[in-house]
Amino acid sequence: MYKTQTPATDWYFVHPNAVEGKPPIVHQIALWAQKEDGETIGLIAAGERYQVAKERKTPHLVSVPPVAGRNIHLSELTKQEREQANKRGQLDIARV
């Protein structure tokens, strides 16, 4: 359970792809959540759209993956990171 939850407008978690030479993985952060111990974490959507539609999985939020990465604001995303977010349906490239 979390003590507080705050919307995370225009924030992303970016980490390198496990496959060398592939573009980075970009997750849109939905919420900042403060845990009972005071630590603040980013929560992202679990499951891709196809899983929700075809496999009838319930969308839910999970903490960012336990990999080396960074929380970054939309205004600081590189062109490649923006393109990756757009491919995942997390960013309307025309908006920025």
pTM of the full structure: 0.82
- Is 74 or 95 the better-scoring residue by pLDDT? 74
Does pLDDT of 1 surpass 70? yes
Would residue 15 count as lying in a domain?
A: yes
Mean pLDDT over all residues of the chain? 86
Residue with tokens 């939309």: 74
Would residue 47 count as lying in a domain?
A: yes
- pLDDT given at position 46: 80
Residue with tokens 């025309």: 94
Would residue 93 count as lying in a domain?
A: no
Structural domains of the chain, count: 1
Would residue 86 count as lying in a domain?
A: no
Sign of CA dihedral 87, 88, 93, 96: negative
Would residue 31 count as lying in a domain?
A: yes
Non-local (6+) Cβ contacts of 92 within 8 A are: 86
> How sure is the predictor about 59, in pLDDT bands with cuts at 50, 70 and 90?
confident
Would residue 92 count as lying in a domain?
A: no
Domain of residue 62: give its range: 2-78
Would residue 87 count as lying in a domain?
A: no
